[in-house]
Homo-oligomer: A and B are copies of this chain.
Amino acid sequence: MSRWASLSEKTRQELLQARAFLSAVAEPPAQALARFVAERGARGALDAILRERAPEQVQAEVEARRSGLSGEQLLRAGEAAGLRLLIPERPGWPHEAFAELVGAREVELPDVAEPLALWVRGRGELAELAERTVAIVGARAASGYGEHVAAEFGHGLSRAGFTVVSGAAYGIDGAAHRGALSAGGRTVAFLACGADLDYPAGHSRLLRAIADQGAVISEYPPGTPPRKHRFLVRNRLIAAMGQATVVVEAGARSGAANTANTADLLGRPVLAVPGPVTAQNSVGCHVMVRSGQAVLVTRADEVVELLSPLGVRPAEEVEGRSRATDRLHPDARRVHDALMGMDSASDGEIARDCGLPLGRVRAVLPELEIEGFAKRTESGWTATKR
Contact = CB atoms under 8 A, between A and B. Distances in A.
Nearest to A193: B341
A265 interface: no
Given A61-B355, A318-B252, A337-B228, A277 B273 contact: yes
A274 B299 contact: no
A320 B253 contact: yes
Contact of A227 (B252, B319, B337): B337
B145 A356 contact: no
A95 interface: no
Interface residues of A, number: 62
A145 B276 contact: yes
Given A145-B276, A320-B253, A296 B302 contact: no
30 contacts: A27-B334, A27-B354, A30-B355, A63-B357, A64-B348, A64-B356, A64-B357, A148-B278, A149-B277, A149-B278, A225-B341, A227-B337, A227-B353, A227-B354, A228-B333, A230-B337, A251-B320, A252-B318, A252-B319, A253-B320, A253-B321, A274-B289, A274-B296, A275-B275, A275-B277, A277-B299, A283-B318, A286-B298, A290-B298, A296-B296
Interface of A: 26-27, 30, 60-61, 63-65, 145, 148-149, 225-230, 251-254, 273-278, 282-284, 286-287, 289-290, 295-299, 302, 318-321, 330, 333-334, 337-338, 340-341, 348, 351-358, 360-361
Given A253-B319, A289-B296, 4 more contacts: A27-B334, A227-B354, A273-B277, A283-B318
